[in-house]
Structure 1
Amino acid sequence: MATQYEISGTSAKGIGASIEQGVAEGALPPGTALPPVRRLAERLGVSPGTVATTYKELRQRGIVVTRGRGGTVIADAPAVASRRPPPVPPGVRDLAGGHPDPAFLPALLPPARLSPGARSHRSVPRLARLEELTRAWYEADGVPSEHVTFAHGALDCAARLLSAELRPGDAVAMEDPGYHHLLDLVAALGLRSVPVAVDDEGMRPDALRSALRAGARAVICSPRSQNPCGGCFSARRRDELVEVLRAAPEVLLIENDHNSAIAGVPLHTLTAGGLPRWAQVRTVSKFLGTDLRWAALACDATTLARHDGRLLLTSGWVSHVLQEMVVRLWTDPATWDLLDTARTAYAQRRTALVEALAARGVAGHGASGMNVWVPVRDEAAAVSGLRTRGWWVASGARFRLAAAPGVRVTTAALPVADAPRLAEDLAAVLGESQATYGG
């Protein structure tokens, strides 16, 4: 309870300014509980409605959050930058970055002609040919394609969707462990992450149901190649999750199918479940080029209008030069031959490590995608131990909300022949850590 700082004011604006001053001066640190509406109203001699309006305005601006029976509290300071991984030490093999193998990225093909002159593309923001290709791409996987648009990447798209749909203090159901940049983005927008446990089939239905009961107004999930655990929806899991979401028709679903063309597993998408509010974003950075900041978005009509309305007011459109480059790569037969090779190689490399770990009694999770998640007791000990053996892997801390510790190993550029040696080293490191804990 805020007892050391005296809130003052006789109007909603004045009371709000007093609370903001307390926050700025550090007298009301994050987590400080504010007085209940009626109690503060009696103390200040104003109506409860005035205090309620104050709290509502502060909540919309991300200064306070409401936690049900926990009352209204000062919000945590939002993140302003992503938690970047530590630099890769010299002399070790980097298996921490989550990047594709450069050998499987096609050579970038510049546009046949550059976009002429200084002119606005707001009236025609999408190239007709790329929009046609995008619709076919979605339809091939059973994703409704009536409404499609473009963005500058998955994070750009997610930020626009969340900021148009939610207000600071609202809750978002997030995979746990999950993609660390998305976790940081949600915090930076002044939103609250509600952890949803995952397994080899992606989000668990019981955990999602709990998150919705806790007030989540949006859900962000990966239908396959879940980062960092590699889970992918089965048909049964898809149906179970759709059933959970049907009970919350006001919630916005955002699917992030970032590895689509190289996932190596079928897509069982929630977007085909007849939900009223949904979106699926796909990017090309993992298989056409990490510098191609282009994403496709399929969604319901309301979501499309809100996304494109925000886009129109900011960047206006995605560069037509960039769009033309994507079209050229997409329509080049050599690109798809290379992606076929990549899809097979990524699956073989991931599977090789999972099987090599299993042969040594170590659990590894990687049903799809480019990464393998290995549960550990001590992340720092695991990362340090592998470093001494010449490997650099990612500590799981930046991927977790409430999940148990683990490390993420990127297998995209790990040859099958090297999997046994890495598994042997990892098993040895975990054995040393267990001996330490066991005394």
Structure 2
Amino acid sequence: MDRAKPEAADGSKTAGSDFLHLDVGEAPTGGRADWLAGRLRAAIADGRVPVGSRLPASRVLAADLGVSRGVVTEAYQRLTEDGHVVGRGRGGTVVVATPAAVVLRPAAPPAVDVFADRTDTDVLDALRTAPAGIDLRPGVPDLAAFPRAAWLRAERAVLHRLTPAEFGYGDPTGVPALRLAVATRLARSRGIRVDPAEVVIVAGVSQALGLLAQVLHADGVHTVAVEDPGSLGVRQHLRNWRLDTPPVPVDAHGLRVDDLDAGGAPAVLVTPAHQFPTGVVLDGDRRRQLIGWARRGGLVVEDDYDAEHRYDRPPVPALRAMLPEQVCYTGSISKLLAPALRIGWVLVPRRHHAALVAAKRMADLGNAALPQLVLAELIDSGALDRHLRLLRRRHVRRRDAMIDAVRAHLPGAVVHGAAAGLHLLVTLPDAVSDVDLAAAALRRGVKVQPLSWHGQRPQPPGLVLGYAANTPGVIDRGLAAVGAALREVQSAGPA
């Protein structure tokens, strides 16, 4: 039998595969791994390679295509990092997720004018639901990277040992297994020593803030100062529970504690590990000032926002680790796994614990137990830490791609907060309206948030841009559209 590879009519060697009719001749010189990853990603997206199916063994596909095995393993690795496939040893490389189709096109006019009134309490939801091809909003994690296979394994393990009684109503503070896992993880990664009995499991940081607001309001605290600029969504939550939110300026060193002291607020909410939206880390001197302020009677609410997503700087300890009786601490799994899980935790000084538990009981009788148990299994097995390591590598590439895209498409813009987190703050050189710019970008099919939304006092024009949820190519296309929107706004001049 003639086993020679087929030849083209001109006598040159050709190689191809029955799998997807892949033809390596289509690949650009030096870009075979990119080409193959793109072809596989498209086939997964359109259903030719459905979720649950196996890709060919790398050695087999490499032989079919007439390329080195390294080309195929590199392509498979990129799909793995994107969360589309997982390697299962002898079980092969299995498709576990479908890529979201990204089509950059002008968005249809939204049902409401998203950018008409930044004080509108629905403005964040209006932007979230507005149709667009590319979403560069901050706070959106890489949803395609959700570890489905690890979650399923943990879920099977939990269901295998779950007793019938555990399907009933549980402790409103959370299942003991998760409270223990969270306490252990906080001690290891954030320096917080806490008894698991002090941990209260909540439906994300948003519920934690709502419960804390109720507790503080009942205790006579009606004002919680907030960082400026600081999260619009956080202000909305606090104001919904009848708390005033006076602004305290943030500079290159973090919260201006002297301004906080002068303002007279009894409590303050801070994001010291990675300030939103500037990305500033509260430095050592400001930490000492803030701890001194708290020791004089102030209460700190610490949102440990993005603490685990750090790349170019060492970790910083949580404030709660230094002053547990004057710090309410909250965190969640939303930016590490997915917001859809609605799992977070809150720690409060002992004097507030009973009131917090009562508020949680009256809110919902406690979070769903099964997801809590699965998350505890992920933490205890080390799967969550492995997932975090994968995310850090991917985030660095996407962050760098966004920085390059900003330089290419927004000349003169300044990038802030690149050492950690899932977003960048970009301030603009010209006196343009960042709201007008965001509106023009949305008309081009790209969602971004204007910096001015997050400031109670005047801010320089800027955009808050999330990079975690998009591939480098999508990021570049999105920033190209933002650059075109900027030129449009600049040419229009003042309204």
Within the candidate set 331, 341, 346, 2:395 is matched to 346
Aligned to 2:344: 295
Deviation, structure 1 residue 437: 4.4
Pick the aligned partner of 1:256 from 298, 303, 307. Answer: 303
2 CA distance for matches of 1:238 and 1:356? 34
Instruction: Give the drift of 1:429.
Output: 4.5
Q: Which residue of 2 aligns with 1:379?
A: 434
Say if 1:411 and 1:309 are closer, same or farther in 2 by CA, change over 3 A.
same
Q: Do 1:281 and 1:295's aligned partners in 2 also have CA atoms closer than 8 Å?
A: yes
- TM-superposition CA deviations, 1:34-56 (whole Å, max 9, x none): xxxxxxxxxxxxxxxxxxxxxxx
In structure 1, what residue type is equivalent to 2:229? P
Q: Aligned partners of 1:403, 1:349: CA distance in 2, in Å?
A: 30
1:312 equivalent among 343, 361, 365: 361
Does 1:179 find its partner at 2:231?
yes
Q: Distance in 1 between matches of 2:358 and 2:164?
A: 25
1:170 aligns with 2:222: yes
Amino acid at match of 1:262: H
Change (3 A) 1:79 1:192: farther
1:411 maps onto 2:467 in alignment: yes
In the superposition, the TM-score normalised over structure 1's length comes to 0.70
**Cα deviation digits, residues 330-371 of structure 1 (max 9, x gap):** 234444322211123223422443465357321122232111
Alpha-carbon contact 1:173-1:220 (below 8 Å) kept: yes
Post-superposition Cα deviations, 1:364-394, rounded to whole Å, max 9, x if no partner, equal: 2223211112234302331244345553212
Q: Would the aligned equivalents of 1:126 and 1:149 in 2 still touch at CA under 8 Å?
A: yes
- Indicate yes or no: 2:381 matched with 1:329: no
TM-score when scaled to structure 2? Answer: 0.63
Distance 1:130 1:363, change over 3 A: same
- Structure 2 distance, partners of 1:301, 1:242, is 18
Using the alignment, how far apart are the partners of 1:169 and 1:299 within structure 2? 15
Distance 2:234 2:140 in 1: 16
Question: What's the offset of the Cα at 1:322?
Answer: 2.6
* Match in the other structure for 1:8: none
Query: What is the rounded CA distance, in whole Å, between the counterparts of 2:476 and 2:124 in structure 1?
Result: 31
1:394-437: CA deviation from partner (whole Å, max 9, x where unpaired)? 23343222241432211113334565665565456445545654
| 1:227 Cα deviation from its structure 2 partner | 2.9
The answer to whether 1:151 aligns with 2:206 is no
Secondary structure of residue in 2 paired with 1:86: helix
For residue 24 of structure 2, what is the aligned residue in structure 1? Answer: none
- Looking at structure 2, the residues matched to 179 and 80 of structure 1 have their Cα atoms a distance apart, in angstroms, of 13
- Any unmatched runs of 5+ in structure 1? 1-77
Give 3-state SS (helix, strand or coil) of 1:288's partner.
Answer: coil
**1:213-292 → structure 2 map (5 Å cutoff):** 213-246=262-295, 248-249=296-297, 251-264=298-311, 266-274=315-323, 276-292=325-341
Q: What SS does the aligned partner of 2:266 have?
A: strand
Whole-Å separation in 2 of the counterparts to 1:102 and 1:420? 19
Which one has a bigger Cα radius of gyration? Answer: 2
Q: Determine if the alignment matches structure 1 residue 134 to structure 2 residue 182.
A: yes
One-letter amino acid of the structure 2 residue matched with residue 382 of structure 1: L
Give CA-to-partner distance per residue, 1:272-323, whole Å, 9 cap, x none: 3336421211101222222211212233212323312322344333332232
- Residue of structure 2 in register with 1:86 after alignment: 127
For 2:310 and 2:481, locate their aligned partners in 1 and report how far apart those are by CA, in whole Å. 27
Q: CA RMSD in A?
A: 3.3
C-alpha separation between the residues in 1 aligned to 2:268 and 2:445?
39
Paired amino acid for 2:455: R
Give the AA of the match of 2:385. W
Q: Residues 185, 438 of structure 1: CA spacing in aligned structure 2 closer, same or farther, 3 A cutoff?
A: closer
**Cα 1:327/1:427, change in 2 over 3 Å:** same
- Partner-residue secondary structure (3-state), 1:291: helix
| Candidates 365, 369, 374, aligned match of 2:421 | 369
Amino acid at match of 1:305: A
Among all aligned residue pairs of Structure 1 and Structure 2, give the percentage whose two residues are the same amino acid.
Answer: 22
The reply on whether 1:396 has 2:448 as its aligned counterpart is no
Q: Is the 8 A contact 2:138 2:422 kept in 1?
A: no
